[in-house]
Amino acid sequence: MEKEFRMYIAGEWVNSLDGEFYEDLNPFTGEVFGRVVSGKRADARRAVEAASHALPQWSGMLPGERQALFLKAAEILEKKQNEIVSVLADETGCTFGFAMFQTMFTPGLLREAAAQVHQVSGEIIPADLPGAFHMAIRQPVGVVAGIAPWNAPLILSLRSICLPIAYGNTAVLKPSTESAVAGGIVIAEVFHEAGFPKGVLNLVTNGPGRSSEIGDEFIENPAVRRINLTGSTAVGRNLAEKAGRHLKRVALELGGQNPLIILADADIDNAVNAAAFGGFLHQGQICMSTRRIVVAEAVSKEFTEKFVQKVSTFKVGDPKEPDTLIGPLINRIQLEEVKKSVEAAVREGAKILCGGKSEGLCYYPTVLANVKRGSSFASEETFGPVVSIFEVKDEEEAVAVANDTRYGLSAAVFTRDLQKGLSMAERIESGIVHINDQTVHDEPQVPFGGVKDSGWGRFGGKAALEEFTELRWISMQRTPRQYPF
């Protein structure tokens, strides 16, 4: 019998009000990984109520007390590493390397949250009134809803609620249907074992087709004061439009068509290794994945030959085998989308240098050349192990190609001239630019987020204070004020 997983509301593991479950599948074997509670809008409402009820106690707790809980949670998460690595492989098709990356990254998120509890500070503001004292203070916003995707579920689910809770807010987490355990159950288990008070973190899971009604509850429920989403641009736009009607702030990390520029003076071997990692980690199913390699014509031949040779050797198959580099895509729908995208590019003149085939849900690492600028493939996001190579004459053309998309999440520039790299980074329309590193990089303390259709708002570090606290002005008259009438 398959294992059953329940929601976590008000400190209890509970069924949905109607008792429904759905089957969560292993994308590599096609077998049922587990049966998960399928929550509905009414379940989301009771999760919000639990978070709202817990808010006064949690926001009034001493920062040091909150800090101790986050540090304990980090230790618990580290102890569960082997268990979580197995869950990530079985539920999401995550290879051993990327699963290890997620389990090593996330304790740092919890420890950054522990550090941030003492960063919620204000300031004294000079007053232009006699006897007046002005101050600005930061306070929790209230209940925060986090909506997380399946592609890096442990990281992105924890990121959606970690710092908000550290600042004194309470939270409701809605993980993806495809990763309810790795992106939800596991995190709730850690918080529960660490001893967080009941209702501080609440978890609502839902079956296929139910995500929008959960999101609508978050948008329309007045107790929810902030929503953050990591997902596709289409979903983010729909959420932002609905939230706007309720004057509700959202933080969005959306899609990317991320360029990696290689200039003529770059260390080519370093660039090859970086591009291979950035393009094919987790089958290219990362918002920051390198999608376009923009390479100077002087080194294009050398780079392309070495790059194709390297990625052609990647082992494709069972994600539970430690040396597998390319596992399955998350589901059949995603596989078909990748196939259609590549086929469309080929019809428009693109040439497949390697890959372009699939086995089961595994799509082989694919490199395309001669992709037409301005085409859908060149400007839209293909969420899979597919990379295109563009040859350019100089730095100006490289920047133009990099900016030739509606997205702006992450970018990279390889050059031995760091001054030149910095100059280009300032002109690239992207929320993140790495010089001599690939596009897939994040750290808990940095301001992570995109521009253009890659979203708005910032996750991580002190920048998260702007998203998940309210800045308020308080004045005090120490002597009676003189009024004109």
- pLDDT for 412-449, tens place per residue? 999 999 999 999 999 999 999 999 999 999 999 999 99
**What does the pLDDT look like over 122-173, one tens digit per residue?**
999 999 999 999 999 999 999 999 999 999 999 999 999 999 999 999 999 9
Mean per-residue pLDDT, 209-215:
94
Residue with tokens 């390889």: 414
C-alpha closest to that of 204 among 222, 234, 224: 224
Share of the chain above pLDDT 70, in %: 100
- What average pLDDT does range 42-65 have in this prediction? 98
Question: What pTM value is reported for the model?
Answer: 0.94
Average pLDDT over residues 253-258: 96
Active site residues: 253, 287
User: Please, what are the domains in the chain?
Assistant: 4-254+450-473 (3.40.605.10), 258-435 (3.40.309.10)
Nearest residue to 358 (alpha-carbon basis) of 329, 388, 378: 329
Q: What percent of the chain has pLDDT over 90?
A: 97
Residue 312, number of CB atoms within 10 A of its CB:
13
- Confidence check: pLDDT of 250 > 80: yes
pLDDT of residue 1: 59
Residue 379: predicted pLDDT: 87
Res 68: pLDDT: 98
Q: How many C-beta neighbours within 10 Å does residue 410 have? A: 31
Across 187-209, average pLDDT: 97
Mean residue pLDDT across the chain? 96
Q: Is the pLDDT of residue 461 over 90?
A: no
- Reported residue count of the chain is 485
Please give the pLDDT value at position 374: 85
pLDDT per residue as tens digits for the range 327-349: 999 999 999 999 999 999 999 99
